[in-house]
């Protein structure tokens, strides 16, 4: 809660300096970020793309750039969607006092949806082949000729099915059975018509979560980055994976295989045999993938959507970063914002933004957050937590580390005035963390000290020859009370708060 106070107070102090005109209060959202329940699957026509997810979340787009969220009954957990014969068919589950049930919805335009009565257990995956839909899920296989009326079928073995695909004239599905006593049975099952099923043991003792067919091959992916291929659904070959992350979905799109999974993992393959890692945007877990309007699309946690023209470089479809941003400043003709997971973005007009992280998590550097950023003497300086990391940049396109210790120091605010950068926050001592500051004339060489308040200083500004720093604030019946306000004359050789 204290961090929320500091960020809010910093914004309020900046806002107070603005002239309070009617134009000042007219705000336009930039860098919009979809936020909501997890998205699990995506399907598209030539004119409409639809992604579905938990709590009835449905996202629709006509260009893969602008997305409109639509929420049906939040008790509906949508797990998969396909488009066949002029309509979208979405399936999933809902839960009530009587237990867990299957859900089927159809739509011609991806905007208006009709739910159809079903009487099965929760579904996870759907496919269409040989003139019929087949849905699989929690120990159940069901078929339908129209996506509306469904009939339960008898599987070869009752397991918790995860995915299903159709190719070479056969349906192939896989799942796992847990006996409740620590034993697991992993199964792959096949059918020519979706009605009569045969099968046997899966090729690996791990959960396989998705399957796709293309180029004459079935490809299964799952936990630990496992990848298996087969031409007939009977004999399987394990392929070398480029990730150990769980892969949640695989699809065959535009003549290539695409697989997505935890922590933003995206892998690709031209033949299903040799796989390559793709660069991606963000680190949200991804659960579904597909193609629309000539762009590859992956969806996942917090309604995240990332797209790519070539399956290699991926960017957020709805925001230049999916990280929470904590501070913004202006200098050298551009705005610069910083935030969580070393994120940083910049813009020359405040409308169009480019992401340039302060650093990538390589070479042993830990992931951290940046709380504040200031500009002075043709230099941007950003500071943050987990060791008081301090970085500088002339243009926010590349950053240089100037300070980072091994302690728990956390710098919450920084400002520039009278030729001096001053940052405030928690500073380590032999007796633990205390309120303190660090100062520098150039952003490179820093000295510091401690001040009186027991609470850390959380924001700082400079004006009228004074440095003003504050701890936190409280609100009471619409009024604000600043607690332990501290101030100092701007002296280049010392700061006495």
Task: Return the domain boundaries, the chain.
Answer: 2-16+321-489, 39-316
Classify the phi-psi angles of 166: left when phi > 0, otherwise alpha if psi is within -120 to 50, otherwise beta.
beta
Q: Locate tokens 């660069």: which residue?
A: 279
How far, in Å, CA of 440 to CA of 490, rounded? 13
- Is residue 390 within 8 Å of residue 438, measured between CB atoms? yes
The correct answer on CATH 2.120.10.80 for the domain covering 39-316 is: yes
Q: What per-residue confidence (pLDDT) applies to 280?
A: 65
In angstroms, the Cα distances linking 357 to 247, 258, 382, 397 are 26, 26, 12, 8
- Is residue 106 within 8 Å of residue 89, measured between CB atoms? yes
Residue 124 has pLDDT above 80, yes or no: yes
- Look at 71 and 48; give whichever has higher pLDDT: 48
Q: What is the CATH number of domain 2-16+321-489?
A: 2.120.10.80
User: pLDDT by residue (tens digit) across 16-64?
Assistant: 444 444 455 677 767 666 778 999 999 999 999 999 999 999 999 999 8
How far, in Å, CA of 187 to CA of 148, rounded? 28
Q: SS3 of 348, please?
A: coil
Q: Locate tokens 């997305």: which residue?
A: 67
How far, in Å, CA of 421 to CA of 437, rounded? 10
pLDDT confidence bin for 399, thresholds 50/70/90? very high
Question: Of 314-328, 414-428, 468-482, where does mean pLDDT reach its minimum?
Answer: 468-482
pLDDT confidence bin for 471, thresholds 50/70/90? confident
How far, in Å, CA of 391 to CA of 358, rounded? 8
pLDDT confidence bin for 302, thresholds 50/70/90? confident
Q: Locate tokens 């193609």: which residue?
A: 291
pLDDT confidence bin for 207, thresholds 50/70/90? very high
How far, in Å, CA of 166 to CA of 215, rounded? 12
Q: What per-residue confidence (pLDDT) applies to 494?
A: 40
Are the folds of 2-16+321-489 and 39-316 the same?
yes
Looking at the whole model, is its pTM more than 0.75? no
Residue 352 has pLDDT above 90, yes or no: no
How far, in Å, CA of 5 to CA of 12, rounded? 10
In angstroms, the Cα distances linking 265 to 163, 297, 299 are 19, 13, 11
Q: What per-residue confidence (pLDDT) applies to 427?
A: 87
- Look at 486 and 112; give whichever has higher pLDDT: 112
Q: What are phi and psi of 54, to 5 degrees?
A: -70, 160
pLDDT confidence bin for 376, thresholds 50/70/90? very high
First to last CA, the chain: 25
- List, as one string, the DSSP characters of 373-428: EEEETTEEEEEESSS--EEEESSSSS-EEEE--SS--EEEEEEEETTEEEEEEEEE
pLDDT confidence bin for 472, thresholds 50/70/90? low
24-57 as b/e: b if 16+ CB within 10 A? eeeeeeebebbeebbbbbbbbbeebbbbbbbebb
Of 452, 339, 354, which is closest to residue 395 (Cα–Cα)? 354
How far, in Å, CA of 435 to CA of 462, rounded? 19
How far, in Å, CA of 269 to CA of 175, rounded? 24
pLDDT, the chain, mean = 86
Q: What per-residue confidence (pLDDT) applies to 6?
A: 41
């Amino acid at each position: 809660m204290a961090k929320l106070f500091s960020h809010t107070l910093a914004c309020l102090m900046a806002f107070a300096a603005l002239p309070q005109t009617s134009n000042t209060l007219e705000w336009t959202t930039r860098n919009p970020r979809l936020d909501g329940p997890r998205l699990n699957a995506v399907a598209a026509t030539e004119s409409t793309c639809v992604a579905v997810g938990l709590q009835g979340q449905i996202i629709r787009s006509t260009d893969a750039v602008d997305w409109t969220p639509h929420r049906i009954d939040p008790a509906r957990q949508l797990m998969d969607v396909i488009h066949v014969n002029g309509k979208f068919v979405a399936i999933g589950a809902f839960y009530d006092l009587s237990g867990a049930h299957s859900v089927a919805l159809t739509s011609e335009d991806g905007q208006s949806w009709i739910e159809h009565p079903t009487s099965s257990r929760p579904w996870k995956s759907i496919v269409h082949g040989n003139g019929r839909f087949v849905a699989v899920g929690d120990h159940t296989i069901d078929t339908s000729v129209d996506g509306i009326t469904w009939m339960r079928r008898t599987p070869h073995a009752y397991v918790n099915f995860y995915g299903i695909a159709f190719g070479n004239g056969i349906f192939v599905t896989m799942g796992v059975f847990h006996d409740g006593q620590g034993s697991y049975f992993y199964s792959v099952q096949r059918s020519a018509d979706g009605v009569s099923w045969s099968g046997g043991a899966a090729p690996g003792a791990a959960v396989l979560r998705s399957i796709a067919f293309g180029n004459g091959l079935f490809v299964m992916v799952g936990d630990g980055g496992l990848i298996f291929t087969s031409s007939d659904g009977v004999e399987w070959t394990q392929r070398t994976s480029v990730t150990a992350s769980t892969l949640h979905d695989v699809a065959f799109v535009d003549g290539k295989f695409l697989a997505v999974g935890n922590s933003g993992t995206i892998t690709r393959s031209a033949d299903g045999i040799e796989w390559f890692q793709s660069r991606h945007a963000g680190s949200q877990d991804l659960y579904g993938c597909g193609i629309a309007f000539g762009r590859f699309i992956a969806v996942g946690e917090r309604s995240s959507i990332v797209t790519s023209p070539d399956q290699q470089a991926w960017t957020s479809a709805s925001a230049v970063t999916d990280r929470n941003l904590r501070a913004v400043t202006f200098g050298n003709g551009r705005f610069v914002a910083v935030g969580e997971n070393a994120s940083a973005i910049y813009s020359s007009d405040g409308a169009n933004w480019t992401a340039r992280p302060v650093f990538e998590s390589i070479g042993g550097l830990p992931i951290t957050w940046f709380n504040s950023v200031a500009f002075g003497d043709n230099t941007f300086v950003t500071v943050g937590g987990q060791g008081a990391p301090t970085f500088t940049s002339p243009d926010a396109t590349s950053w240089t580390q100037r300070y980072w210790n091994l302690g728990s120091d956390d710098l919450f605010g920084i400002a520039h005035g009278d030729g001096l950068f001053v940052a405030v926050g928690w500073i380590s001592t032999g007796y633990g963390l205390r309120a303190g500051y660090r100062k520098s004339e150039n952003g490179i060489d820093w000295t510091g000290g401690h001040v009186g308040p027991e609470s850390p200083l959380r924001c700082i500004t400079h004006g009228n020859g004074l440095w003003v720093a504050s701890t936190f604030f409280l609100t009471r019946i619409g009024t604000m009370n600043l607690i332990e306000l501290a101030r100092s004359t701007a002296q280049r050789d010392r700061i006495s708060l």
